[in-house]
């Protein structure tokens, strides 16, 4: 996998559709892997809200840990355990099938120091596609890439603020919300009237084929 710093560096065939896809809770079961990492550090991970640090507790504690401790644990996970994640069921097969017809780009907000490890993870799990490490909202990056093809573009993310950002920057892009971890699905903020919500890859694949391959 070649490291890519900017959306403008991605090779995009302007005559093919474009699929831009997030990693955590879309291609990868992040919360499962992060939970294992936390257990190894002596913490409990209770998935009772759509949040990260507010779900981390010292054993038996009633209050979650403070934000600074959460940030340290988050940084340590990406430094030492980025590759300790299972792929979302069906993700690799779906992308492989779609890549026969469309440009596929991975757009992730992982820390830059985890770039190499995240790339190795994608390759090992059969998802060797161009990867951009993003920071902050994704609308600008998605819009820049979508402008380079004359065919439809689709974007998949689990976080509503990234979907909202894409809607604002590139409203013609087809937006799909996916939350791979079943524990998170009922907790995730959603706006299905604006961003289509599909949480299983086989069902999402059908919708993406209809959107990108058979428009």
Do residue 106 and residue 176 come from a single domain?
yes
CA dihedral 172, 175, 160, 122 (to 10 degrees): -120
Domain CATH code at residue 23: 3.40.50.1000
Do residue 75 and residue 95 come from a single domain?
no
pLDDT digits (tens, 9 = 90+) for 50-96: 999 999 999 999 999 999 999 999 999 999 999 999 999 999 999 99
Do residue 105 and residue 69 come from a single domain?
no
Q: Report if pTM > 0.75.
A: yes
Do residue 74 and residue 131 come from a single domain?
no
Number of domains the chain is built from: 2
Do residue 133 and residue 165 come from a single domain?
yes
- Residues of the domain holding 176: 3-29+85-213
Q: Give the tokens for residue 206.
A: 């059908």
Closest CA to 50 of 186, 196, 147, 154: 186
pLDDT digits (tens, 9 = 90+) for 8-27: 889 999 999 999 999 999 99
Do residue 95 and residue 160 come from a single domain?
yes
């Amino acid at each position: 996998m070649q490291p890519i710093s900017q959306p403008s560096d991605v090779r995009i065939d302007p005559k093919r559709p474009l699929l831009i896809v997030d990693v955590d809770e879309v291609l990868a079961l992040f919360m499962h892997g992060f939970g294992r990492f936390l257990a190894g550090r002596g913490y409990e991970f209770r998935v009772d809200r759509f949040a990260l640090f507010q779900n981390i507790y010292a054993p038996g504690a009633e209050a979650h840990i403070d934000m600074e401790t959460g940030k340290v644990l988050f940084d340590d996970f990406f430094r030492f355990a980025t590759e300790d994640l299972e792929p979302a069921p069906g993700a690799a097969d779906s992308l492989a099938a779609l890549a026969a017809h469309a440009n596929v780009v991975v757009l992730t907000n992982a820390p830059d120091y985890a770039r190499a490890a995240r790339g190795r993870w994608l390759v090992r799990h059969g998802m060797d596609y161009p990867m951009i490490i993003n920071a902050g909202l994704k609308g600008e990056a998605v819009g820049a890439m979508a402008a380079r093809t004359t065919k439809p573009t689709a974007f998949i993310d689990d976080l509503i603020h990234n979907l909202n950002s894409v809607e604002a920057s590139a409203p013609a892009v087809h937006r799909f919300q996916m939350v791979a971890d079943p524990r998170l699905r009922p907790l995730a903020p959603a706006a299905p009237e604006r961003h289509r919500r599909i949480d299983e890859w086989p069902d999402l694949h059908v919708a993406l084929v209809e959107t990108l391959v058979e428009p």
